[in-house]
Chains A and B, each alone.
Chain A
């Protein structure tokens, strides 16, 4: 009887893995044949029916860097304040509540907000900058929550030792607390940024939608997920949609493998010391 139960649970584990494998391999099998040097490094032709996706890759990279530049200081900074400086419990709970709500708000609401606030109210142009502001707002709660947890789990003895040696608070934070919490903080940042560059709904009304390579952050752009959405939903080109989806999946795979590798190495280094 227990064996039957064990097989049942194992089977559901296998199904979960199978779902991932089926989706990833289906997209890759259909998409990889269309990916070559030219597809990655050329502009789309005839609104994406043929040609490549170079401008979309550049747009996504712009968004990745800009979002990180805006969201990381806010997320990590507020986590430091909450764990090291703030003395009021009520304030801590209140900010945590705010960040929980922020992380639960659907992306389309961020899209609405971005459109009315950035485009209509502040009169910004449709641009990568406006899009990265929206994406940064979406990323802050994840970075904040994960950083708070990892800073809180730094052993108190380390902090006391540092203070005991005569370091002041800011020195302790920069040379003791942050280095010991960095692997957690890094995970949070990667998690948040992966979501940010996978997002299409939140940016579709602030990023504009062009086929040219964006030169500055104030140009309009078209990130990869949005391109895939338009290709697929408007039936522009199925082959190019498969190829774009493959690029997105490969990107996620690289990020996941790379971040896990870095974390493992870092943890081994810490434990080895």
Chain B
């Protein structure tokens, strides 16, 4: 009797996870439907002007900026994190390997607002003085995001590299390959699914980051024409306007949220596809 009670109790706790997701989806949908109803999906996605006072709510520039900033962050972060992961797992001594663990943890633990603050006080003056523009730019945001997603990609790539069966490496050595040949021809290809998962998760984090980006990107709502332009992402738009949005404007911010949610779900589906295809 007691055992049954415990089992039922634990089951209901587990179902919480599902109910939370369901609640989030229901409330996002419920609050965004008036806006979809009012403007229609096509107009919302294609209109390039977001001027709440004139009842213009197009989110295309924000989608574009969000994706642009995140991909740029990946371009900066992926080479560095991959080579770092290879260094830690394959080339460093055990002592250095042990040293890296808390370093990566700290990098992951520093609050995103602190990264944003660092970008605001260091990167922006640097960009203004040495690259051009007024500093508040897509470039600054991508650098901040790149630093933030480093630990995610490094940790997952490390796991993937570590999980390559040792026999593969032995076989490669037995056939006469050097250590670096083994890394590039055997270990990296075998670890690719895990590394890709790490990169996609990093991308998801970059798309979803709010305040760190908001602090350095300038938040001018426009279609950016260069990386030195200011822009506004989906996330920062919500954070900036939520405090005073009314009526249809308020509902439009939930449309922002829905679009973000859809992007994240697509990225999730991609990782699941990767895991299924390679069977891991």
Contacts and interface: CB of A to CB of B under 8 A. Distances in A.
B122 A170 contact: no
Contact of A9 (B6, B18, B87): B87
A168 to B, nearest CB: 6
A232 B10 contact: no
Nearest to A194: B109
A261 to B, nearest CB: 10
Interface stretch (A39-47, A61-69, A75-83, A213-221): A75-83
B154 interface: yes
A233 B215 contact: yes
A99 interface: yes
A24 to B, nearest CB: 8
Contacts of A108: 208, 210, 235, 238-239, 257, 260
Q: Name the residue among A13, A95, A194 with the largest chain B CB count within 10 angstroms.
A: A13
B10 A85 contact: yes
Interface stretch (B55-63, B100-108, B166-174, B221-229): B100-108
A198 interface: yes
Interface residues of A, number: 81
A165 to B, nearest CB: 17
Interface in A65-123: 73-74, 77-78, 80-82, 85-86, 94-95, 97-102, 104-113, 115-117, 121
Given A204-B239, A256-B106, 7 more contacts: A16-B84, A81-B13, A97-B272, A116-B31, A137-B20, A200-B113, A248-B111
Q: Which 7 A-B pairs give the minimum distances between C-beta atoms?
A: A106-B208, A198-B111, A81-B10, A12-B83, A78-B14, A201-B210, A13-B87
Interface of B: 2-3, 6-7, 9-11, 13-14, 16-18, 20-21, 23-24, 27-28, 30-31, 79-81, 83-84, 86-88, 90-92, 96, 100-103, 105-107, 109-118, 120-122, 147, 150, 154, 178-180, 201, 204, 207-211, 214-215, 235, 238-239, 242-243, 253-254, 257, 260-261, 264-265, 267-268, 272
